[in-house]
Amino acid sequence: MIGIIDYGMGNLFSVSKALERLNAAYFISENKEELLQADALILPGVGAFKDAMEKLKETGLSEMIHTFVENGKPLLGICLGMQLLFESSEENGLSEGLKLLPGKVIRFSGISKDGTAYKVPHMGWNKLHFKKDSLVTPNMDDDFVYFVHSYYADTKEEVIIASCSYDKEVPAVVGRNNVYGMQFHPEKSSKLGMHLLSNFANLIQKG
């Protein structure tokens, strides 16, 4: 069963409804002991990085997430939840992240190298380009998914599974070992997004 982490800053409704459409068993909880018993965890997120990390630390959920990952079970961060997986963020001042993936989260500058302005936040449909296969992205075809974000992960090439182009190459699906992240909203991204969520849910059966 998949546990959705409730720390007060996630779009629990849309994620849970997507899992229901996939007939994937899930529960929503803020209880550390319950969440540790899950077969996989989803860390959703909407809002500011610093506020989210404060809530995770205050509730002890950050420590629970590390224990869960150390136990070898799959974790998926969505949108802000993906950004929280990294070492730090510059949003509202430098803040430490969960440090499960290498790199930092930085803001789109809004100005291209040639001096042309571009819109921040990055909002709407953009094409996903798969760079390599993973357990959640086997033989996937490039297609469009839905983004809403002003910050992006500046990370190592080795953890980038898929990216999109928005003035620069933007990591869109990341992963290392049993930790995965999706910058876009898979639950709002039509067939491809649902396919990716389904692949994550199926990791339970493969584990």
* Active-site residue set: 79, 185, 187
Q: Which amino acid, one-letter code, is at 197?
A: L
CB atoms within 10 A of CB 14: 16
Burial 90-103 (b: 16+ CB within 10 A, else e): ebeeebebbebbbb
Q: Which amino acid, one-letter code, is at 137?
A: T
Cα–Cα separations (whole angstroms), residue 58 to 7, 85, 98, 194:
10, 17, 13, 32
Q: Which residues pair with 162 in a beta bridge?
A: 130, 173
Q: Is the separation of the CB atoms in 69 and 100 below 8 Å?
A: yes
In the chain, alpha helices (H): 12-21, 32-36, 49-58, 61-70, 80-83, 190-206
